[in-house]
Structure 1
Amino acid sequence: MDDLKKKYACPPDKYAMYPIIHSGVETAEARIAEWKQQGFGGIVANVGYTLDYPEDVQAWDRLEAGMRAAAREGFTLWIYDEKGYPSGTAGGAVLEAHPEYETTGILAYNYWKTLTGPARYRADTPEGKLFKALLVPLAGEDEPLDITETADAAGTLRFTIPKGGHRLLVLVERRLFDGTHAAHSYSEPRRYLNLLDPKATDAFIQMTHGKYRERIGDLFGKEMKAFFTDEPSLISWNLEHVPYALVSWRGDFPHVFRERYGYGIELALVAVFLNTGNAIVRRRCDFWEFISTELAENFFGRIQQWCRANGVAASGHLLAEEELTAHIFLYGSFYASMRRFDIPGIDQLESEPDKLMSAERLPIGRLAASFADVHGFGEAMSEASDHVSRMNNRQIPFEWIRASMNWHHAQGINIITSYYNFSHLSRQEVQMLNTYTARLGLMLRQGKRDSRVAILYPECAIWSEITPVPEARGGRQTLAAQEISRIFRDISWGLLHRQVDYDYIDETVIQQASVRDGRLTFGNRAYEAVILPGVHVMQVKTARALAAFMEAGGKVAALEKLPCHSREGTAEADGEVRSLFAARMNDPGHLLFSDLPGTLLTPAILAFLPRIMRLSPADIYSVTVGAAGTIVKTGGDVPSPGILSHMRIREDGRRVILLANMTGKAYRGTLTVEGMPDRAMSSEPAAQCTIWDPVDGSVAPCEWTGQEGIADMRGIKVSLGAYAGSLYVI
């Protein structure tokens, strides 16, 4: 520990912040001394944003000179891969050279009136390339009638309506721009690349990554660590109201989909847009799985393969990470796309503590860091800034930026790329922030995060319920989709408020995991409990794996819904999923079903879940909120919702714990940790519990509370100032 204490006193700069520099890196030689004095550990840079981007030779000369100067001084280098954002177009150059790679979508025109037959009928169709015109029976069980061939050259349909009531669904292919992120980017309006097309991705890589390799390829795998891609997406999550609901598309999808799933993609589109027809759950899941696989492989996967082949990491962040329903429209599967980052990341535009702690949005830091923890990447990144505050003419103080560093590291983010405007701070204050950040980065790379609880990312469940709509940002989704999103978000924050470490996992992790000593093990993760947040649909293989887990002593908590439908969508598969969980309903020690809407962390669930660490407030003042001084209480449990935590376990068995006070008032409490009493009773200095101050780098023995000499009644005294953080080694 002595070596670690020395490093902690003067932490490596590589764990400090990396400013994002879109212009001015060409003057790096003049600025390096300033960056060094401020304590930055690296830079994120790109070739200059000139009108000739990315072909401006002089801009490349300046970029190369600046990056090499920074490398000589030991800075870690990252490359930002686009002119503004979203990434993928090389500042528009890809589509200027290859207009055929522009993104397209299928727009669904669902005529409002019921068509009743038998009768002859005429209908015009929306602008665009007609893919399918379908008469969908209102009964919902018969397959739609394909009337596409009745269209004339102008797209006018003339057809006979069969007996009974029908809906007219017209599917047209059209380029995506109006109302999308492409038209509303903060950078500039720019036509967008079809990320589903591998040839389009290859063209982007050639025009960006390839050019950087030509200039500074000898730094790859050395000073040059990673490429940063910024908010690429399918852009089928429109940012303003559009006439028709839409999904992303590629011209050969009908053939590829049929080859993979054995039926026409138009049947899946009927299920997705209208929520009707046969095998709705299976067809909806088929479609979104198909989209997610094509995106993950043909964009994120190809970039990752190129980066790995060239000795660097693929990194960056996605769009609208905070909302589960947005994940589906933008990526099909957020999980599948994020797994193709070597250093997964987030975009955190807030630094005001109350906004960071908003329980109305997913805790995106924990979401991204889970990929690093579960899949062994080791590092997770944030594009951190005070952007929202600045856009509202608010200047945030030094203490809030430091609180943001605590927020990030508590959730598992350990690389900070920065858009902060530090002009209001002194050089010494910036240096203090960087040293503080580096100390957190050093300590929270010790060992591994000790998560005993896993939350299932409810992919099949949300696939089965979500519906594309023309309203902005996904509109008002079905009640079922809203409930899944709410339960997923609320249990995530509920555990954070009670200092319970957890990981997000998907069904693939459950299926590939093994069961050892009653734990679900995957890589270096070992879960004692798995939480199903509103999950009513899952793959049969997942249900079997969870049944085996429970049989071996593991615990599964199903919140508000019990799995009752299969992803496969057959009666036999549905029956097997239901029976596997029904068989455990009389075994409350291994399956706990809570069907109380809006009450997720009941006393029964809190007792059911493993809780290695507990934090108890010393007084009510520490946890009261609002003018009325209210508190949250579950049974006899009084949580400390303003305190975020991160617990790691080292190979020597010691635990490293970060406690971060995200509130504007002091906190006093008691920390107890599993296995701590034995260490607490030891008189050996090497076994002592210590508190590590990230502000000044000091290390001191912990102060104990409780009755001396009785181990089970001992705890560590916790005293945190407003917006302050402390590290404990136990």
Structure 2
Amino acid sequence: MFEAKVFQNPNMRNGPLQIVHDFRFVALNLKDEYKWLEDADPEQKLAHITWRMERLKARGYGGIVLNVGFKHYMEDEAAWQVLDKTVDLARDLGLRIWIYDEQYYPSGSAGGLTLRDHPEYEAQGLVCVTQEVSSPASPGRIASPLGHSALVYAYAVPKNQGRLMFDQQINISHLSDHGGGLCWTCPGGEWKIYCFFTRALYEGTYLCRALRAPRRNISVCNKKAVQHFLDITFDPYIKKLGSRMQSSVEAIFTDEPSLFWHTPYPADFDPDQSYSKLPTESMREKPNMAIPLYAYIPWTADLEEQFRRDHQYPLCDHLPVLFEGTPEAVTTRLDFYDTINSMFDRAYNQQFQAKLQPFDVDFSGHMIHEERFEMHPSSFGDILRNLGSMDIPGCDLLYSDPERIRYSIACKLASSAAHLYRRDHVMIEASNMSDKQQEFSLAQIKCAMAIEFAHGVDTITSYYGENLFSEEEYAQFTKYIARLHQLLAGGIHQTQALVYYPFRQLASLTTVQNPFEADDRAAKLSQSAATIVQNLMMRQIDFDYISDEKLR
């Protein structure tokens, strides 16, 4: 309901939350040179933080998203003392407080600490290496590739006039040689051998090219790995903040947990350059470019057992057809992605909720590649289900062009999840990171915020820098967002249309052999789905996405 007096002076706690990872570092787009000398007096450092926080409050920000200092992440007592005082200062200023759960992104590594004493928690893939054989005189030999485990499974599939006869395949896993590879004597005729090994998912993933800290990460489907990440990350916050964890912290921001799909190296990729990215205090590692990159699926030690429980047949016997990508694999693909999705949900989402619920702290964040439907199966699974597991579903848009944001589906996915799973709020990580070379006026950025609210968002976490506008413009920017919240938040959403989220169709078409490019049919389906909603947006017909789960 519109109330003129409230609209004139909105509650500024509903203004944007500024993301401030570390007060030592110059904020994004900050033109002024703020020096943080390591040998500076603690009082000088606190004075700097106080000035920054008071300035955010004066500009109209509703809160901050913060974390313990990135240098010597989680293990620097001085950094915890700074955080302690920063939380008190934010509370005294009336600022809302969210906590960011990682040193850079993606979430799960705890700045490298999760794997430091538990390398077994690292994300793993099951790799497929194949060989064609047709003569007993030339036995099939496949060695374990560099950086891979010993042989896990092996199958020989006969060919009839060039066609693979999967119903006649032979399990030859027992023929592992002393080197961890396979040696098999062909009985005659044409055959294709499928050998399966595991390897750590670092090389050939975006982890080794991460923007800030190239490093390994955990398996988000491994319950022990995720629990270790949560304990390392949140137990110190719980201990240091005490009762303030419940009384002052509203939410936790998790950033792009992922299955770490295969992403080919760019032609100009330089591992030395990637490794040299700042900050130098991060745990990081050069990728080993000698490790060969074969097709893989995400893997955990208990995946085979879980798959059998879910679908009453063994996954291992269907691996050749799954990796080959033939039409016979549709059922197996659907079942595989269903199991992976469920394991992700139990290990990551549900354990996150269990960790935070005793403190009445909300779980929020966003996934990667929200707008690329064809990437969903191999990246994280059903996005509506994952976002619906959060108390505050979220998304990110790293650009500010209103015309581009107008047709983005990211906000609608997050708000649809909120409506489907009865969540009260929707968050966006908003910034101009990907189009910061363009000049955008305050009016254009306000327009972008209005479109995001129209698409169902009511909470802005801002990556916009601290020197993007004048002081007067910041006041206009934050008050505009607070007014949008006052007008639009808390209402009853009445959708005019439902748009089917085609996750199962995408999963049935997403082949293992080349998941980054995806099957052409999956890409076309993704584009078709995007076109439908863009046409609805052009006609200003509001809609929600709906999933198979909610249609049943």
Scaled by the length of structure 2, what TM-score is found?
0.86
> What residue is the counterpart of 1:323 in the other structure?
372
> What residue is the counterpart of 2:285 in the other structure?
none
Q: CA RMSD in A?
A: 2.1
- Secondary structure class of the residue paired with 2:348: helix
* Contact kept in structure 2, 1:196 and 1:250, CA below 8 Å: yes
Q: Which protein has the bigger strand share? A: 1
* Contact kept in structure 2, 1:105 and 1:236, CA below 8 Å: no
* Contact kept in structure 1, 2:124 and 2:298, CA below 8 Å: yes
When Rg is computed on C-alpha atoms for both structures, the one with the higher figure is 1
**Aligned-partner Cα distance in 1 for 2:63–2:425:** 15
Report 1:588-603 matches (<5 A): none
* Contact kept in structure 1, 2:402 and 2:448, CA below 8 Å: yes
Report 1:289-438 matches (<5 A): 289-357=338-406, 363-390=409-436, 393-438=437-482
Q: Cα distance 1:422–1:239, how it changes in 2: closer, same or farther (>3 A)?
A: farther
**Aligned-partner Cα distance in 2 for 1:269–1:57:** 49
> What residue is the counterpart of 1:263 in the other structure?
313
**Aligned-partner Cα distance in 1 for 2:4–2:392:** 27
* Contact kept in structure 2, 1:343 and 1:380, CA below 8 Å: yes
Report 1:700-715 matches (<5 A): none
Kindly indicate whether residue 110 of structure 2 is the aligned counterpart of residue 90 of structure 1: yes
* Contact kept in structure 2, 1:384 and 1:420, CA below 8 Å: yes
**Aligned-partner Cα distance in 1 for 2:243–2:468:** 38
1:131 partner amino acid? V
**Aligned-partner Cα distance in 2 for 1:74–1:67:** 11
1:502 partner amino acid? F
Kindly indicate whether residue 197 of structure 2 is the aligned counterpart of residue 197 of structure 1: no
Percent identity, please. Answer: 30
The 10-residue stretch of structure 1 (426-435 or 333-342) with the greater mean CA deviation from structure 2: 333-342
Deviation at residue 221 of structure 1 after TM alignment = 4.2
- Secondary structure class of the residue paired with 2:526: helix
> What residue is the counterpart of 1:46 in the other structure?
67
Deviation at residue 431 of structure 1 after TM alignment = 0.7
**Aligned-partner Cα distance in 2 for 1:283–1:143:** 17
* Contact kept in structure 2, 1:75 and 1:223, CA below 8 Å: no
Q: Cα distance 1:317–1:237, how it changes in 2: closer, same or farther (>3 A)?
A: farther
Deviation at residue 239 of structure 1 after TM alignment = 5.0
**Aligned-partner Cα distance in 1 for 2:243–2:342:** 33
- Secondary structure class of the residue paired with 2:152: strand
* Contact kept in structure 2, 1:74 and 1:223, CA below 8 Å: no
1:500 partner amino acid? I
Q: Cα distance 1:422–1:31, how it changes in 2: closer, same or farther (>3 A)?
A: closer
The structure showing larger relative contact order (alpha-carbon pairs under 8 Å, at least 6 residues apart) is: 2
> What residue is the counterpart of 1:116 in the other structure?
134
Report 1:639-678 matches (<5 A): none
Kindly indicate whether residue 187 of structure 2 is the aligned counterpart of residue 165 of structure 1: no
Q: Cα distance 1:283–1:417, how it changes in 2: closer, same or farther (>3 A)?
A: same
Kindly indicate whether residue 512 of structure 2 is the aligned counterpart of residue 462 of structure 1: no
Deviation at residue 228 of structure 1 after TM alignment = 0.4
User: Could you report, residue by residue, the CA deviation over 1:268-315 in whole angstroms, capped at 9, with x for unpaired residues?
Assistant: 43333212485x322111101011110111012211221122210001
**Aligned-partner Cα distance in 1 for 2:97–2:10:** 19
- Secondary structure class of the residue paired with 2:108: coil
* Contact kept in structure 2, 1:43 and 1:75, CA below 8 Å: yes
Deviation at residue 41 of structure 1 after TM alignment = 0.2
2:197 partner amino acid? V
* Contact kept in structure 1, 2:385 and 2:417, CA below 8 Å: no
Deviation at residue 446 of structure 1 after TM alignment = 4.0
> What residue is the counterpart of 2:271 in the other structure?
none
User: Could you report, residue by residue, the CA deviation over 1:318-363 in whole angstroms, capped at 9, with x for unpaired residues?
Assistant: 1111101211111132233222211111121111234324x5xx51
- Secondary structure class of the residue paired with 1:474: coil
**Aligned-partner Cα distance in 2 for 1:411–1:434:** 19
Deviation at residue 70 of structure 1 after TM alignment = 0.6
Kindly indicate whether residue 91 of structure 2 is the aligned counterpart of residue 67 of structure 1: no
Instruction: Give structure 1 stretches of 5+ with no counterpart.
Output: 512-730
Match of 2:57 among 23, 36, 40: 36
**Aligned-partner Cα distance in 2 for 1:268–1:6:** 66
Match of 1:440 among 480, 484, 504: 484
**Aligned residue pairs, count:** 498
**Aligned-partner Cα distance in 1 for 2:264–2:391:** 29
**Aligned-partner Cα distance in 2 for 1:300–1:143:** 40
User: Could you report, residue by residue, the CA deviation over 1:557-616 in whole angstroms, capped at 9, with x for unpaired residues?
Assistant: xxxxxxxxxxxxxxxxxxxxxxxxxxxxxxxxxxxxxxxxxxxxxxxxxxxxxxxxxxxx
Match of 2:298 among 248, 253, 268: 248
Kindly indicate whether residue 530 of structure 2 is the aligned counterpart of residue 489 of structure 1: yes
> What residue is the counterpart of 1:125 in the other structure?
143
Scaled by the length of structure 1, what TM-score is found?
0.65
**Aligned-partner Cα distance in 2 for 1:332–1:171:** 23
Instruction: Give structure 2 stretches of 5+ with no counterpart.
Output: 25-45, 267-291
**Aligned-partner Cα distance in 2 for 1:384–1:325:** 23
**Aligned-partner Cα distance in 2 for 1:339–1:423:** 35
* Contact kept in structure 2, 1:142 and 1:277, CA below 8 Å: no
Deviation at residue 90 of structure 1 after TM alignment = 1.0
